[in-house]
Amino acid sequence: MLRKVCIVGGATTPFDYGPTGFESIEGGAAECVRETQRDIPEFSLRDIDLMIYSHFSVHFGHQLAAEWIIHDHLGLVGIPHYRVENGGNTGGSALYAAALAVMSGHHDVVGVVGWETMDSVSQSQGSEFIAMASDIRYELIVGGIYPIYYAAMANKWMKDNNVTEEDVASISAKNRNNAMDNPKAQWYRNEHKYITVEDVMNSRLISYPIKKYDCCLMSRGVAFVLVCSEEYAKKVNPDGYVTIDGMGLSSCTIRAGDRLNFPGWTERYGSGYPEMTEFGACRNAADQAYKMADIKNPLNEIDFGEIHDAFSTSEAQIYKALYLADENNIAQFLRDKTTHMYGEIPMNPGGGLMGYGHPVGATGLMSAIECFYQLSGMIPQKHLSKKTEVSDPECGIVNSHAGTGTSISNFIIRRV
Amino acid sequence: MNETVVLKRKDRIVKKPDFTEKKSYRPVNVKETGLSFIGHEISEDGNVMNQFFHYDQLYTIRHGWNSKFFKGLLEGKIWGTRCPKCGDTWVPVRTHCWNLDCNLEKTEWVEMPLNGKVHTWTVAGWSGRSSLKRLPIILVYAVIGKSKVAIANELHGIKPWDVEFEMSLKVVFKPEEDRIGAVTDFHFEPADGWEPSPIHQEKERIKELVEPVYKWVKTLK
């Protein structure tokens, strides 16, 4: 019998770019733990029996095994630790690892710290560093940056699904405007303005059909999540803990062009899927998570989500991969603003990667933390108002996403 | 005595390549200085310090079993691979078959035709630092010959707003002396006889988005 896995607390530093955030990763990690302790005073660092570190790129960190610096700083000598790296899905994969550790019964209280310091190089250099996770022999050298690969995938997806630039621009505006209610969000701390679909449409071309405001932010930031057994959850946060009822992790090709006819996908979903347009790994990870959590109708049974909006287009593609809409109704699903705060299934009330920010190793954890806050009724104390609080949620989805859809995890999290 | 025996065995097992053909096109600014602290800054209130750390290394990409593809580019050829069991063909190449039932069968090399078809495309108005001056760039994922996968590369010889899904392409190589054995040795161009369709709403929109990019690139030093 697998053990139930719970989340009892977590916090992030403010996400930012440049010298306005926390000035050291270990200092940021310590502050995240301190904030968690303020939320759940019964939690002590002495309770932790495993630490998992979530960090994407040594290129940004200019320090191999930087987790050793953080671990040491937190005073946790003797406690086992290791780092998880899985591209943009590093945070989701670290959460997956922590959940497995608790589920197995081998560990009871697992701390997960994620971080990225993308402001250690210029923005254009940073884009190139991230793109080194694409195949440098075939793709980096011709495309150069991820938005170009995503744009090529989205261009065809939008044509195939009758989705317009305005439809996806509405997602960009939604997430940035949600972030205006979140004091830790990079958009709130810097640009600090409400935007419209028109603003998105008028922002500069990055790669057709993606414009500047269709893209997420490049960030510095740290996050901490506390994952544990139900026994421990009942001890430290009996009224506010949530459970990870379902989880799935799946993979796809590194080069987007290699998934037109991949035998592994043809076996699972028939020929012609995921093509270069759909996120097969997202669908597969959702299938696993839904099965585990006994979700039959995701649109009805899931109340909200914190998902990986690296681009407005990819958030829309993720809706479809998660079975929230299909090719017949995805365009209308977007036009109906189904995922806005007042819609049927609000997505990224915390601001997402476009509003909160995307310090890669911390991102998936940030999504899980926002999901936890919603389910445990903490939004009024963490956001500036109740505008971005989902009404009485019972079930949320967390999605973390890497490469061109190369590794994707989904988590179904429920209030107890 | 023992040492001599070991060396002989090693010689027999591993044949070390003798790199007789060498070409260097290293830019002058690659200095391979390794790791060094090269400066710092301190805020006026004295509370925050930033330090500048320089890391400059030369990497060797050892193409190993993929070498024939990259060497082929120098010769103006596109090599693909094919599984002798199931017949699937790829460019970019796979040295072992992707079909689980073929149990990682080693593939064989096949020369690909120099033509293809656009699978999907985009017009980039922004890129990594090393590509900014070439903007706007039309990037296509194209299927070469009977490949089961699409390969990304630039499309030249066409206005950014005139690209179409499924359009026929030809592979065009740079002059031999300019090739470096990388996929940038070739690009795509519309197949001979291809004509753009008349201007329509989407083309107008792309034009509107791309025009500022042309202007901005002219201001780059």
Q: Is the pLDDT of residue B128 over 60?
A: yes
- Residue range A235-292, pLDDT digits in tens: 999 999 999 999 999 999 999 999 999 999 999 999 999 999 999 999 999 999 999 9
Helix axes of A312-321 and A280-293: crossing angle, nearest 10 degrees: 50
Instruction: Give me the mean pLDDT over the B36-63 stretch.
Output: 89
**What is the dotted CATH code of the domain comprising A1-416?**
3.40.47.10
How far apart are the C-alpha atoms of A77 and A107, rounded to whole Å? Answer: 17
Average pLDDT over residues A397-401: 98
- List, in sequence order, every residue forming a beta bridge with A114; answer none if it has no partner: A54, A223
Identify all chain B residues contacting A207, using CB atoms and an 8 Å cutoff: 122-126, 139
Nearest chain B Cα distance for residue A294, angstroms: 30
Q: Which of B125, B130, B131 sits opposite A206 (nearest CB)?
A: B125
Contact flag A263-B154 (C-beta cutoff 8 Å):
no
Nearest to A23 by CA among B43, B86, B10: B43
Given CA atoms A289, A294, A296, A301 in this order, what sign does their dihedral have? negative
- The whole-angstrom separation of Cα B153 and Cα A141 is 9
d(CA A73, CA A113): 12
Per residue in A294-328, pLDDT (tens digit) is: 999 999 999 999 999 999 999 999 999 999 999 99
pLDDT band at B1 (very low <50, low <70, confident <90, very high): very low
- Do A308 and A350 contact (CB within 8 A), yes or no? no
Contacts of A182 (CB under 8 A, 6+ apart): A188, A350, A351, A355, A356, A382, A383, A384, A388
> Do the beta carbons of residue A302 and residue A259 sit within 8 Å?
no
Whether B140 sits inside 8 A of A152 (CB atoms) is yes
Contact (CB, 8 A) for A371 and A10: no
A340-364 residue pLDDT tens: 999 999 999 999 999 999 999 999 9
The amino acid present at B195, given as its one-letter code, is: E
CB A312 within 8 A of CB A177: no
Residues of B in contact with A156 (CB under 8 A): 119-120, 165
From residue A300, give the alpha-carbon distance in Å to each of A63, A296, A303, B23. Answer: 46, 9, 7, 62
Q: Is the pLDDT of residue A109 over 60?
A: yes
Domain ranges of chain A: 1-416
Interatomic CA distance for residues A387 and B60, integer angstroms: 53
Task: Tell me the ipTM for this assembly.
Answer: 0.91
Residue B42, both tokens: 């301190």
Q: Which two tokens stand for residue B55?
A: 């890391």
3-state secondary structure A91-131: HHHHHHHHHHHHHCCCCCEEEEEEEEEHHHCCHHHHHHHHH
Element (H, E) at A281: helix A280-293
CB within 8 A of A186, min separation 6: which ones?
A14, A15, A16, A17, A179, A217, A219, A221, A355, A356, A357
Give the closest residue to A74 by CA, choosing from A44, A96, A102, A95. Answer: A44
Q: Cβ atoms within 10 A of the Cβ of A180, count?
A: 22
Q: Does B121 touch chain A (CB under 8 A)?
A: yes
Contact call for B120 and A156, based on CB within 8 A? yes
A287 touches chain B (CB under 8 A): no
